[in-house]
Structure 1
Amino acid sequence: MAVNVTTEADGVATSSTPRPRRVAKRRRRTWHLHLTLSIICAVSCAPVLYAILVSTQNNAQMINFDLTIGESFLANINTVWNDRALGGYMINSAIMAVIIAVGKSITGLLAGLAFVYFRFPGRWIVFFFVLVTLMMPTEISILALFEVTYDLGISGSMAGLTIPFLASATAAFLFRQHFANLPANLSEAAQLDGANPIQFLVRILVPLSWNVLGALIVIEFLYGWNMYLWPLLTVSNRDNQVVQVGLATLQQSGEGQMYGPLMLGALIASIPPILVFLALQRPFMRGFAMARDK
């Protein structure tokens, strides 16, 4: 039997139902939502689970669509880590991704500072051309970038892999919008305290931008980690190659297509981006929430 309790205080009547009964009613109303979300999660996780399963199998088991755990996991590990040296590729990719993420963050901060707090002729025209580059994919300028890096003698090196990508229109736009929404009197207060623009950026703007900075670092790290076409075109030395190109070498061997090592290599290569996202998950989500609120 349901028990209703009615109280009156200051002329206001309130009614309360026992908490277990309210929880049960809420669950009955939202069961279809939980079911839908469970199905979506199962469908989303199915490819990853299947990749984990295939990473333990040999070609025969995979072709026969065997859904049992295979016995070739150690052999696949040996192929991926020792024969194809995926660990070295991952180190190169990690260095490249960190340099690109840090470089784009620094140039984005400086660009946002210039577009918001500096007054110079043609400021909006320059900002317009920066935005235009957002609509230009890297593939359009890749041949020109190759010629420039080759003429400078840095083609195929880590400098050649990273320097052409240290500036980002996305980062400039993101920080410009963020700085424009900060109180305008911050700059005036810093000037009264005798701070120069760099001190104003480091001491005031950067501490107020950790969430946006965290979101940008995650995005740009993933961009650098997943880069494939540019390293494939410029790097000829295997020791300097990156992980995405290294994964392509797992597709073929003397025995033909190698499904187990390929899946295992893809799973191992996905670990660093996942760790970066988990480390910066809170500022990443807050940064996007701030962008949505604005």
Structure 2
Amino acid sequence: MIERRPWADALAHGLLVVAVLVMLFPLWYVFVASTRSAAEILSPPLPLWPGRHGWENWHATLVDGARRIGGVDALRLLANTTLIALAVAAGKIVISFLSAYALVFFRFPLQRTAFALIFVTLMLPVEVRIMPTYQVMVDLGLINTWTGLTLPLMASATATFLFRQCFATIPDELLEAARIDGAGPWRFLRDVVLPLSATNIAALSVIVFIYGWTQYLWPLLMTSSNDMHTLIIALKKMVSFADADTEWPQVMVITLLAMLPPVAVVIVMQRWFVRGLVDGDK
């Protein structure tokens, strides 16, 4: 029997509250800065309560656009970043899921070799592959296109490996029962494998969405048009070496827009994310 200690519960909850406040403080600080004028931001210490320029700063950023990125508004940047993150996440999940399904449930020549080649790509950092991939995109005429921005990021050896390990835990009896019932490969995938993989898909979706959301190097190489920039690229271009030349209130607004969606995704998907990481019994 586990003994209940009220003081231990209170201490644990207190530590959790402190940890939450520590993690939320940067978000609050950026929000406060987004409601202040540039002069107030450049005159530390910055107060910890909102200022009077919130509507002005947010309207200028969301509607009017930023001068250093060609006047592109933050709503366009947010839409671009969301599109890339969702496309990359969906592509990674679908491609990795089908690849792992083929590796586990089908028998074909050089099957082990195919998996070994996929696994070897884990040892190659992005920087090693980025120039050959960029040259392929140039040869195909995919510079400044959404296809060029998202397609090369969709393959994932890590996700394929994780799905393969998940599928390997499915009992052979389920496969035999499906065959006796006359289920083909697609029906077995839809009715058996997909439901059993729901928590793993949810956990991986969070990871790959944040991966796509925070992309910087590849979109920077693939786009030269301000209209296709992401929030991360816009932040880099808006920050100048000279503080007086940087539109700090707009930088803070875009920083907050770049931080909030990944946080929201993690909070909403938290239960599924944890279950996908710890639930190994199928």
With the length of structure 2 as denominator, give the TM-score of the two structures. 0.86
Q: Give the conservation status (yes or no) of the 8 Å contact 2:121–2:157.
A: yes
User: Deviation string for 1:29-63 (max 9, x for gaps)?
Assistant: 44443443333333222222221221111232223
What is the SS of the residue equivalent to 1:57?
coil
Counterpart of 2:277 (choices 281, 288, 291) is: 288
| CA distance in 2 between partners of 1:102 and 1:86 (Å) | 24
Quick check: 1:52 aligned with 2:31? yes
2:236 to 240, 248, 251: 248
Deviation at 1:254, TM superposition (A): 10
Specify the alignment match of 1:77 in structure 2. 58
SS in 2 for 1:150: helix
Structure 2: gaps (5+ residues):
67-72
Q: Distance in 1 between matches of 2:151 and 2:7?
A: 57
User: Contact (CA 8 Å) 1:57, 1:72: kept in 2 or not?
Assistant: yes
Q: Which residue number in structure 2 is paired with residue 208 of structure 1?
A: 196
Please state whether the residue corresponding to 1:155 is helix, strand or coil: coil
- CA shift, 1:159, in A, is 0.4
Residue 197, structure 1, aligned to residue 181, structure 2: no
Larger radius of gyration: 1
CA distance in 2, matches of 1:89, 1:137: 28
Conservation of the 8 A alpha-carbon contact between 1:156 and 1:240: yes
Query: 1:207-256: per-residue Cα shift (whole Å, max 9, x none)?
Result: 11111111111111111111111111111112222221122233249941
Aligned partners of 1:191, 1:155: CA distance in 2, in Å?
46
Preserved CA contact (<8 Å) 2:78 2:257: no
Query: Does the 8 Å contact 1:61/1:70 carry over to 2?
Result: no
How high is the sequence identity, in percent, across the aligned residues? 35
Q: 1:178 to 1:192 in 2, by over 3 A?
A: same
How far apart in 2 are the matches of 1:156 and 1:139?
20
Number of equivalences: 270
Cα deviation, 1:146-185, whole Å, max 9, x if unaligned, reads 1101101112200001111221111101110111111111
Q: Is 2:85–2:210's contact at 8 Å kept on the other side of the alignment?
A: yes
Aligned mates of 1:232, 1:187 — CA distance in 2: 46
* Length-normalised TM-score, structure 1: 0.83
- Which structure: greater strand fraction? 1
Q: Structure 1 CA distance, aligned partners of 2:14 and 2:260? A: 29
